[in-house]
Amino acid sequence: MYDFAYHKPASIADAVKLLAADPEAKVVSGGHTLLPALKHRLNKPTSLIDLSGIADLKGIKKVGNSIVIGALTRHVEVATSEIVAAAIPALAYMASHIGDNQVRNRGTIGGSVSNNDPAADYPGAVLGLGATVHTSKRKIAADDFFQGMFTTALEADEILTAIEFPIPEKAGYAKMKNPASRYVMAGAFVSKGPMGVRVVINGAGPGVFRQSAMEAALAASWAPGAVAGVKQDADGLNSDIHGSAEYRAHLVGVMAKRAIIAAG
Amino acid sequence: MPQVTLTVNGKTHSVAVESRTLLVELLREKLRLTGTHVGCDTSQCGACVVHINGESVKSCTTLAVMCDGAAVTTIEGLAAADGTLHPMQEAFREYHALQCGFCTPGMVMSAIDLVQKHPEGLSEREIREGLEGNLCRCTGYHNIVKAIAAAADVMHGKRETIAAAAE
Ligand SMILES: Cc1cc2nc3c(=O)[nH]c(=O)nc-3n(C[C@H](O)[C@H](O)[C@H](O)COP(=O)(O)OP(=O)(O)OC[C@H]3O[C@@H](n4cnc5c(N)ncnc54)[C@H](O)[C@@H]3O)c2cc1C
Ligand code: FES
Ligand code: FES
């Protein structure tokens, strides 16, 4: 790992100032994506801005008909939160299946969503619930936030501060995980509620996406069988040592069905 | 160089480190606590697990500077001052839960966190799932799982000693 300068600001404003002052700086939250990348010298930031001292980025609250989760909230906290379990059990279930206990003790929702790894879990839930991403500058709808592999609407000097999840009537998540890392090979997050009927696929493509044909079928009749007739096209899906595009296309149908069963 | 002040196994240390120094490097190279191992460079094997403020964490994927003010416990900090082993260590010995021992410090640290977070008890399946972040390449997991179940009984007061549980 190359060396870098280290800063630990106490406020969002100070963190943004540091980030704006140095185009080669990066923020670090749990470090469980960034540090493995730095170890392999895939990245060479001049400085790291540690967000962990910023109290405003922490915590889980119910605000009106939404659950608002601070960017620094760790996966273990979402997995074991009574507020999340009561309002959106599918989200707690998803968080409890990210990586392993040690990864969940450090990794954060803000880090995962900002990173937008195609094989990550959280982007599925954020888009699948039609959440709103809060940043140091503005609020961005999930539909506009994710822009393909490792790409989001975040600007260079913008920090993700919280995610606001509208509470759905029902929601469910299922993933086929890579047995070594638990990352997603293909997953589906389905929901019905204030943001309509959503079927979101993660892991299978270069980025998380809405499966509109499945959404239409599920809106017409909410039942596991509803998506059986909808075929996912393998064109454009990921093909790698873990699975071919054709295999992933098949998994999309299976995961969508399981997610609908989980949602009830 | 940044200065980090942290407690390791109850003792306070103030150490100058590079920003890029990993917690495991601080422990092994600066404090000479070599019980914590490094088995991979992909954050997957769990040989490096220690506790930070009571929670199990991969010390190979944690910057030392991010541990300023933290209380760290390593495998060296588990036994009592008179050498009496922690029930989890005793159980690993009693159940033959180690062979080469390379994964053992991380296994023991992960297992203690797992047991402490589940006072209601753990099924065999839950123990296996709780070890997803720890790889053992030689003993096999069978005896490790048995050892953790026995230690959990002792840690939660359901049995008095590991030896009694081993029968
Ligand atoms: C062994 C292992 C297994 C894993 N398995 C899974 C899995 O099954 N599913 C899964 O989804 N993930 C998995 N992960 C990834 C894990 O969930 C990460 O913790 C997560 O993706 C990133 O969160 P972090 O807080 O660690 O981010 P960091 O590593 O701190 O940051 C990641 C990136 O986001 C940026 N960033 C961080 N916070 C913010 C912010 N608030 N605003 C703007 N930018 C920010 C950083 O600059 C960096 O580029 C795994 C990781 C490991 C090591
Ligand atoms: S050394 Fe392998 S996970 Fe830390
Ligand atoms: S005892 Fe040898 S790797 Fe586990």
User: What residues in B contact A102, CB-CB < 8 Å?
Assistant: 46, 49, 56-58, 110, 133
Give me B88's structure tokens.
Answer: 């989890």
Kindly tell me if the per-residue pLDDT of B164 is higher than 90: no
Cβ atoms within 10 Å of A63's Cβ, excluding its own: 9
- Chain A residues with a Cβ under 8 Å from any Cβ in chain B: 1-6, 8, 28, 31-32, 35-36, 38-40, 48, 50, 52, 76, 99-103, 105-106, 180-182
Give me A141's structure tokens.
Answer: 């709808």
- Model pLDDT, residue B163: 79
Looking at the structure, do residues A157 and A195 belong to the same domain, yes or no? Answer: no
Tell which phi-psi region holds residue B9, choosing left (phi > 0), alpha (psi between -120 and 50) or beta.
Answer: left
Strand order in the sheet with B3-8: B11-16, B3-8, B71-73, B49-52, B55-58
Residue B82 falls within a domain, yes or no? no
Cα(B117) to centroid(ligand 2), Å: 22
Q: Which of A101, A131, A166 is the last residue of a domain?
A: A166
Tens of pLDDT, residue by residue, chain A (264 residues): 999 999 999 999 999 999 999 999 999 999 999 999 999 998 899 999 999 999 999 999 999 999 999 999 999 999 999 999 999 999 999 999 999 999 999 999 999 999 999 999 999 999 999 999 999 999 999 999 999 999 999 999 999 999 999 999 999 999 999 988 889 999 999 999 999 999 999 999 999 999 999 999 999 999 999 999 999 999 999 999 999 999 999 999 999 999 999 999
Q: d(Cα A203, Cα B82) in Å, to the nearest integer?
A: 52
Q: d(Cα B98, Cα B102) in Å, to the nearest integer?
A: 8
- Convert the pLDDT of each residue in B92-143 to its tens digit: 999 999 999 999 999 999 999 999 999 999 999 999 999 999 999 998 899 9
Global confidence as pTM: 0.97
Q: Which of B42, B57, B77 is the last residue of a domain?
A: B77
- Closest chain B residue to A2 measured between Cα atoms? B20
Cα(A254) to centroid(ligand 3), Å: 37
- Convert the pLDDT of each residue in B44-84 to its tens digit: 999 999 999 999 999 999 999 999 999 999 999 999 999 99
Looking at the structure, do residues A120 and A73 belong to the same domain, yes or no? Answer: yes
* CATH number for B146: 1.10.150.120
Q: d(Cα A172, Cα A189) in Å, to the nearest integer?
A: 6
Inter-residue contact A173 to A94 (CB < 8 Å): yes
Residue B106 falls within a domain, yes or no? yes
Q: d(Cα A222, Cα A159) in Å, to the nearest integer?
A: 37
Residue B52 falls within a domain, yes or no? yes
What residues line ligand 3, using a CB cutoff of 6 Å? B 98-104, 136-139
